Amino acid sequence: MRPVDQITDALMAPGGPFEVVKQDDIRVFKHAARDLAEVLNRSRQFGSAEFIVLGERRLTYDDFFAAVDALAAHLIHEHNITPGQSVAICMKNAPEWMIGFVAVILAGGVAVLINSRGEGTTMRTAIEDADSVLVLTDNDRAQKLKKAGCSVPLLDGQDFPTQNRSYQTPERETTDIVTMFFTSGTTGRAKAAAISHRALVTGMMSTQMAMVAVFQKMAAEYGVDVETLRQQMPQSCSILIFPLFHASGCGAVFLTSMSMGGKLVLMDRWDGTEAVRLIEKERITTFGGVPTMHWDLLRSPEFQERDLSSLMAISCGGQALPINLLEEIRAAFPRAIIGAGYGMTEMSGAISQSTGAGIVDNPTASGQILPMTDVKIVDDAGAELAVGETGEIWTKGATMMSGYYGRPEDTAKAFEDGWYKTGDIGRLDENGFIYIIDRKTDMVISGGENIYCVEVEQALVQHPNVLSVTTFGVADDRLGEKLIAVFQMKNPDADKEDLMAFAKAHLADYKVPADIAISTRPFELNAMGKVIKAKVRQAYLSGEF
């Protein structure tokens, strides 16, 4: 099921600029590039436009591609990288990361994106699991890898070559693997999701199509033609916060911005006040982050002092925006387009998105199903459920991974008749909006009742004094499990009795937490800003709250 949108449907229709055809029972763009290298090379046209900013360092598109070409030639001539070989990228967000990624692709290799925030052994294992023959790294990661016994050759970003040498990019097939993203590993050892050229190209074209649709709608509202509107718009400029080794950072921010001639402003580390300063200084137009980052921005002591009028779009990935956060963003940025979505590594990023009125009218939804993606809700037996019923979310489309690299058994378990089984619990409405209830593996069964943690958290976070909340189950002799809620408060003088009363007033009896606790320190987050519940649970059981 997907929503009907006349403008988007016209773009996808026969003869349209994004004409869609069926191939292998999925929709693909008829005129898509054969491989990612072809798409990346098109960005050379932006020439002297500014592309990457990190502190005082600034690179134009010309600067960027000069560095890319030098490294790609070096990979081919000095490291003998051949088509399809894996080259790992293990470094923090930096211009060298992006230079390395594009160079690997133009050299015909497979870019293996390592979680650079992991321990040395974890990073080494991921590098080896992907059969990497070379690692592009930085000094900090290099030291960790050497200490962990990594035997794969390392090339430090500071040692990337600068000389201009000729090379030829090998032609790749659409189904060839182009990159690997690693799953979070929250249920065990992280797996490498192998992504094809077609998957990434489709994702980029889907984003371009969405932008064209937005421009057409805006042009109609303002009574001007699309090209006139486009010329009046400033260069797109985004703060790059998400880690580049994640699908959101690599695809939704880096590659999307690059394909449109946008500018990216990197931050060495996240800081809400520094972000506010950068928005003013660099005239940031787009800001995307997780809820914690949005709260930090809004609570910055310099928030009211800075000129943030350039901000035109604000987005939050993952599940639905917390209602209280959505309301504060709308009040602070009444002219900005607010967006939210739902996606996953195995689908190369987004599955659903929603902006503007779609979010305001459906605040608990995680967007509408994207045009190039199919979604269905199934019961435990795999039978499709009716609209409005709750079950596991299955999805498929051209952006779907080819499988988990080197793990045929895990791949087989993840698919059913061409559908990817997400492990998420949710429902669809008649307009194609998807509502994420919880992870199938993050459900508490208490007294025989299924309690979806996200559902409880969405209710509890509406308390006016709550900054964030996380819930989880702990063993209980009588109930099997009991639900625990741990809060972070805006006001440190919080009243636990008041919180419990709020829970009882807003939740069914069986969903009310058996116990609540208040954390005086921020929750520990993973690379994508999501609470590491295992750490909070451990702290609770240890009596730290």
Q: Is residue 145 part of a domain?
A: yes
Q: Is residue 267 part of a domain?
A: no
The whole-angstrom separation of Cα 376 and Cα 391 is: 9
Read off the pLDDT of each residue in 143-163 and give the average, rounded to a whole number. Answer: 96
Q: Is residue 385 part of a domain?
A: no
Task: Please give the pLDDT value at position 1.
Answer: 52
* Contact predicate 299/272, CB 8 Å: yes
The whole-angstrom separation of Cα 396 and Cα 422 is: 10
Half-sphere exposure of 6 (CA within 13 A, CB side): 2
Tell me what percent of the residues of the chain surpass a pLDDT of 70.
Answer: 96
Query: Domain boundary at 172, 195, 218, which?
Result: 195
Name every residue whose Cβ is closer than 8 Å to that of residue 30 and which is 6 or more positions away in sequence. 19, 20, 21
What's the pLDDT band for 4 if we cut at 50, 70, 90? low
Q: Which amino acid is at 121?
A: T
Direct distance between the N- and C-terminal alpha carbons of the chain, in angstroms, rounded to an integer: 45
Q: Is residue 94 part of a domain?
A: yes
Q: What is the pLDDT of residues 272-289, one digit of tens each?
A: 999 999 999 999 999 998
Read off the pLDDT of each residue in 36-57 and give the average, rounded to a whole number. Answer: 97
> What's the Cα-to-Cα distance from 345 to each of 250, 342, 401, 421, rounded to whole Å?
11, 11, 8, 13
Backbone angles phi, psi at 216, to 5 degrees: -65, -40
How does strand 434-439 pair with strand 419-428?
antiparallel
Task: Please give the pLDDT value at position 186.
Answer: 41
Lowest mean pLDDT among 145-149, 177-181, 288-292, 413-417: 288-292
* Contact predicate 382/374, CB 8 Å: no
Q: Where in the sequence is the domain holding 155, given as residue range(s)?
A: 35-44+61-195
Burial 338-354 (b: 16+ CB within 10 A, else e): bbbbbbbbbbbbbbbbb
Residue 525's Cβ-count burial label (10 Å; 0-12, 13-18, 19+) is middle
Name every residue whose Cβ is closer than 8 Å to that of residue 158 and which is 6 or more positions away in sequence. 96, 138, 139
Q: Is residue 478 part of a domain?
A: yes
> What's the Cα-to-Cα distance from 421 to each of 58, 197, 405, 413, 476, rounded to whole Å?
43, 22, 17, 8, 30
Query: Domain boundary at 141, 168, 195, which?
Result: 195
Q: What is the pLDDT of residues 175-220, one digit of tens each?
A: 999 999 998 644 456 899 999 999 999 999 998 888 888 888 878 8
Task: Please give the pLDDT value at position 492.
Answer: 73
Write out 377-400 in H/E/C secondary structure: EECCCCCECCCCCCEEEEEEECCC
Of the ranges 3-17, 257-271, 351-365, 472-486, the best mean pLDDT one: 257-271
CATH number of the domain that 141 lies in?
3.40.50.980
What's the pLDDT band for 158 if we cut at 50, 70, 90? very high
Q: Which amino acid is at 318?
A: G
Mean pLDDT (the chain, rounded): 91
Q: What is the pLDDT of residues 301-347, one digit of tens each?
A: 999 999 999 999 999 865 557 788 888 999 999 989 898 888 889 99
Q: Is residue 526 part of a domain?
A: yes
Backbone angles phi, psi at 504, to 5 degrees: -65, -30
Query: Domain boundary at 146, 164, 195, which?
Result: 195
Q: Is residue 74 part of a domain?
A: yes
> What's the Cα-to-Cα distance from 204 to each of 92, 121, 167, 395, 481, rounded to whole Å?
23, 33, 26, 19, 43
Q: What is the pLDDT of residues 219-256, one digit of tens each?
A: 887 788 878 887 888 899 999 998 999 998 999 899 99
Q: In terms of pLDDT, which residue wins out, 359 or 201?
A: 201
Number of domains in the chain: 2
Q: What is the pLDDT of residues 494-520, one digit of tens each?
A: 789 999 999 999 988 889 999 999 998
Tokens encoding 531: 């609470």
At which residue do the structure tokens 């009310």 appear? 512
> What's the Cα-to-Cα distance from 132 to each of 68, 101, 114, 150, rounded to whole Å?
20, 14, 11, 11
What is the SS3 assignment for 488? strand
Q: Is residue 183 part of a domain?
A: yes
The whole-angstrom separation of Cα 330 and Cα 34 is: 41
Task: Please give the pLDDT value at position 359.
Answer: 84
